[in-house]
Structure 1
Amino acid sequence: MKHVLLVPIDFSENAWIAACYAAELAKKYDWNIQLLHVYQTFSRLLATQEFKDAVSVHNIAAAEQDMEAFNTRFRATYPDIDCTAACMEGNLNDIVLALIEANPIKFLVMGTKGASGLVNVALGSNTYELIRHSPIGVLAVPASAKSFKLEKVGFLTNFKENDVEILKDFIGRTSPSLQVALLHVNEVNKKPKNEDILFWQERLMKDIGINELTYHDYEMVNRLDVNEPIPYAVERLVEEEAVDLLLVSYTRKSFFRNLFSRSLPKTIANKLTIPTYFRKDD
């Protein structure tokens, strides 16, 4: 059975960009695509059951019509990709987590939207909830990602033990032939020792089987507890290393949790200009 990329969509152009990125990823690794649209149940307390049923019928018809148009466009653009499409009523997080548990899904691929944040409620706050709870990675694709390239990934690291497992999981789901750049943000005058960096590089290459691994750091001007400069530092690292995809781990105690918690939508939309893969670490 082929592995699947699950792509939640809201039929916007940003969702289309995410679906196209997923399709190129699927072509690269011979995966299938599952398009998913989740719509909400109408539940106003004062409405009659008859009215609720009528709204539900309308929502189902509208969703299926939009999905048919989206899927037709997708199949015309990517005729060689094995793609299925489904509309489901309910809670996006619950449905996605259930699908992950029951199917061989490699990644979630979700779109982001320019300066106004993640696509909408369904792909906004829920994206963060999925990052927090999904047992597999969530790949956020910005609207600017209109071409596909995946040769070099950048991994934000804080030299913690969980970094090994996070990177191993990603490489295991893609390919050890990818170039990997370790990216690290330093506090002022707290640059890691060269021997420690070399030890970490050698360990990752040995444990994960990566063919090419480099290291690049950036020293902060301000304290790490000042949030605003951190996205700038990450952006600089991404630009200087010219990575195609950014890899970020999420843990309750992670330094990067502070970067990508409450300000996640704003940070992704305004600061990160390349596809970014978030992976929860238990």
Structure 2
Amino acid sequence: MKTILIPTDFSKNAFVAAEYGCALAAASGQRVLLLHVYIALYSGYKEEGSSVKQIKWAESESAKEMENIVKTLKKQFPDVTIEGEYVKGFMIDVVTQKLKDGPFSLVVMGTKGVSNVAESILGSTTYEVIKKSPIPVLVVPTDTPDFAFKNAGFFTDYNDSELDALLTFSRSIPLNPKLSVLHFYTDGEHRDATEKSLSKWERKVRAAFPDGNFTFKAVQVDKVDINAVSAAATDEQLDLLIFTRPHRTFFHTIFAPSLTKAVAGYSTAIPSLFIRA
């Protein structure tokens, strides 16, 4: 059975993500591992005196919080196998090592979802996990509505690597939602050429995934940015956004530092899935 990894700091953001991750696990027949990483600060070369007390206190509090959250989630999702783990260290290091050692299908993390830079939109730790994770990372905003997985939006630049991303998506979350494949283009691009490229891309995707539930659309926008994504999500009534993350792609365009001012104030309650392609 596949396992969804859900890092948590026991905050409200993290709990919303944990609920979403457990609902997803219930729908897709997967297990859940909640992971908390605590930091105990100390001075000197040895963990002595007050340093030992701090570490023991952090460990004890982590154990209590983990027991409570696992108990709460098991009541909400009695059919899902939910386990909890807490270790001392740094979150990004522990998560990275976990992903190397364990057969996980997906990472689910929380975020506030409002800011003017990628690191703050996603949260610095979440952003680092997205950059380093070899498996898909699902980011769940605090104000996400009840779990829904019917209409997903896949944002494309017509790169062949995105076919691998679609395959990874289907394997990680075997729920087969309606998938709106969306390409953005601006006034500077010729509409006929864009439509021709879209038609070619549609044939390629349908050949690779003959059983997929796809629609394809080229969307003209003033600028390819977060605001365009938000507008498309509203128009298409999406409950999931999917981005691929190769070396240079739509992901970098949307979250590039040079465009951070343009996305100031962006807010969405739609979970976003980031897939390395």
- TM bracket (short chain): 0.7 to 0.9
Map of 1:42-57 to 2, 5 A cutoff?
A: 42-44=41-43, 49-57=48-56
Matched-pair contact (CA < 8 Å) for 2:115–2:264: no
Q: Distance in 1 between matches of 2:142 and 2:58?
A: 27
- Quote the residue 2:6 is aligned against: 7
Task: Write the distance in 2 (CA, Å) between the matches of 1:268 and 1:59.
Answer: 36
Query: Counterparts in 2 of 1:89-104, with a 5 A limit?
Result: 89-104=88-103
1:241 to 233, 236, 242: 236
Hey, what's the Cα distance between the residues in 1 that align with 2:58 and 2:32?
Answer: 24
Q: Distance in 2 between matches of 1:268 and 1:85?
A: 36
Alignment of structure 1 residues 214-229 onto 2, 5 Å: 214-222=215-223
* Alignment match, 1:271: 267
TM-score, structure 1 normalization:
0.86
Q: How many residues align?
A: 271
Query: What is the match of residue 108 of structure 1?
Result: 107
> What displacement does 1:9 show?
0.9
In the superposition, the TM-score normalised over structure 2's length comes to 0.88
Structure 2 CA distance for partners of 1:64 and 1:267, relative to 1, 3 Å: farther
Instruction: Indicate if the aligned counterparts of 1:142 and 1:269 stay in contact, CA closer than 8 A.
Output: no
Structure 1, unaligned runs of 5 or more: 225-229
C-alpha distance in 2, partners of 1:268/1:98?
Answer: 34
SS in 1 for 2:143: coil
CA contact (8 A) 2:194 2:218 kept: no
Q: CA deviation at 1:208?
A: 2.8
Counterpart CA distance in 2 for 1:178 and 1:254 is 24
User: What residue identity is the alignment partner of 2:268?
Assistant: L
The answer to whether residue 272 in structure 2 is matched with residue 280 in structure 1 is no
Aligned to 1:69: 68
3-state SS in 1 of match to 2:147: coil
Q: CA deviation at 1:48?
A: 7.1
* Structure-2 change in CA distance of 1:269 and 1:125 (3 Å): farther
C-alpha distance 48-27 of structure 1, shift in aligned 2 (>3 A): closer
The CA distance in 2 between the partners of 1:176 and 1:81, in whole Å, is 16
Q: Summarize deviations over 1:19-62 as a string: whole Å, max 9, x none.
A: 11111111111100101111113144599732221211111111
Q: Distance in 2 between matches of 1:232 and 1:117?
A: 12
Query: Helix, strand or coil for the counterpart of 2:157?
Result: coil
Checking the alignment, whether the CA contact within 8 Å between 1:246 and 1:276 is kept in structure 2 is yes
Q: Counterparts in 2 of 1:18-33, with a 5 A limit?
A: 18-33=17-32
Q: 1:254 aligns with which of 249, 254, 262?
A: 249
CA RMSD, 1 decimal = 2.7
Q: What SS is found at the alignment partner of 2:183?
A: strand
- Deviation string for 1:180-210 (max 9, x for gaps)? 1111221214144323212211211211334
Structure 1 letter corresponding to 2:88: E
Q: In the aligned structure 1, how far is the partner of 2:135 from the partner of 2:49?
A: 40
Whether the 8 Å CA contact 2:227–2:263 is kept in 1: the answer is no
Q: Secondary structure at the match of 2:49?
A: helix
Secondary structure, aligned partner of 2:179: strand
Change (3 A) 1:112 1:28: same
Q: Secondary structure, in 3 states, of the residue corresponding to 1:108?
A: strand
Do the aligned partners of 1:176 and 1:210 also contact (CA within 8 Å) in 2? no
Shift of the 7–113 alpha-carbon distance from structure 1 to 2, 3 Å rule, reads: same
Structure-2 change in CA distance of 1:98 and 1:17 (3 Å): same
Work out whether residues 156 and 182 of structure 1, in 8 Å CA contact, stay in contact via their aligned partners in 2. yes
- For the residue of structure 1 that corresponds to 2:87, the secondary structure is strand
Q: Who is 1:227 aligned against?
A: none
Determine if the alignment matches structure 1 residue 159 to structure 2 residue 162.
no
Give runs of aligned pairs for residues 170-189 of structure 1, distance below 5 A: 170-175=169-174, 177-189=176-188
In the other structure, the counterpart of 2:138 is 139
Q: Report the Cα distance in structure 2 between the residues aligned to 1:15 and 1:268, rounded to whole angstroms.
A: 23
- Letter in structure 2 aligned against 1:245: L
Question: For the Cα contact (< 8 Å) 2:154–2:242, is it kept in 1?
Answer: yes
Q: What is the DSSP-based 3-state SS (H/G/I as helix, E as strand, rest coil) of the residue aligned with 2:85?
A: strand
Q: Give the letter aligned to residue 131 of structure 1.
A: I
What percentage of aligned pairs have identical amino acids?
A: 25
